[in-house]
Amino acid sequence: MALPLLQAGVHMVGVDISAEMLRRLLEKAGASAPPVAIADATHLPFRDATFGSAVAAHVLHLIPGWRSAIGELARVMRPGGVLIASRGGTSRTKWQNDVRRHFFAAAGDRAWPPGIKTIDDLDAEMRVRSAVVRDVFDIRTEGSASINQLLESLEGGIWSSCWSIDDETRRRAAAATREWARAEIGDLDAARPTLSGWAWRSYALV
């Protein structure tokens, strides 16, 4: 997300609670890398009214105290600033949802997501803060994948939804889900249609 903005000449500061994610940004950006800060989104290390705008991409669903994070973003933005935000991927086909649901249940039925559930939650919070809410655009991608490919990704922990699950638990959950899917859905290696969707909003502060 940051790289296209950098390439367009946008001046920015990158913030993430994960040092590894920031390391990847610095590595990819090279000589044009922005300043970065390892920080909790609910306690941003910046003075009031520091920034003209902010982007929260695919992160608010990961933050239990997401309302505090929104408050911090509003604090460090100048009046009239604009927040661009996305809930993260939500739209999936039935088989994708069924496999993911069974995997997380087998891993201990952890509540997910810990932050906002839908973009409507964020819209409501921003309206309480008297922000002007506008749809920006929705992104939808369609493709294909097999059940085994999805489970390999879940087992490998490549998505943030899996980061709190230890390696052994992910392996056991994937094995149990493969057994269930083979009986209930069918061929684990057959290509099946996939769908991903992201809703984006802009919020103009007053």
Of 81, 26, 74, 23, whose CA–CA distance to 52 is shortest? 81
Q: Which pLDDT belongs to residue 90?
A: 65
Does residue 191 fall inside a structural domain? yes
Count of the separate structural domains present in the chain: 1
Does residue 30 fall inside a structural domain? no
Which segments of the chain have a pLDDT < 50? none
Q: Which pLDDT belongs to residue 197?
A: 82
Q: Which pLDDT belongs to residue 137?
A: 79
Q: At what angle do helices 167-184 and 94-106 cross, to 10 degrees?
A: 130
Does residue 1 fall inside a structural domain? no
Does residue 184 fall inside a structural domain? yes
Range of the domain at 139: 40-204
- Predicted confidence (pLDDT) per residue in 182-200, tens digit: 999 999 999 999 998 888 9
Euclidean distance between the first and final Cα of the chain, in Å? 26
pTM of structure: 0.78
Residue type, 52: G
Does residue 194 fall inside a structural domain? yes
CATH no. for residue 75?
A: 3.40.50.150
Q: Which pLDDT belongs to residue 62?
A: 86
Does residue 5 fall inside a structural domain? no
Please state the three-class secondary structure of 69-90 as a single string.
HHHHHHHHEEEEEEEEEECCCC
Q: Which pLDDT belongs to residue 18?
A: 87
Q: Which pLDDT belongs to residue 140?
A: 84
Does residue 28 fall inside a structural domain? no
Does residue 91 fall inside a structural domain? yes
- Residue 93 token pair: 């086909």
- Predicted confidence (pLDDT) per residue in 38-56, tens digit: 999 999 999 999 999 999 9
Residue 180, C-beta contacts closer than 8 angstroms, at least 6 positions apart: 102
Q: Which pLDDT belongs to residue 152?
A: 97
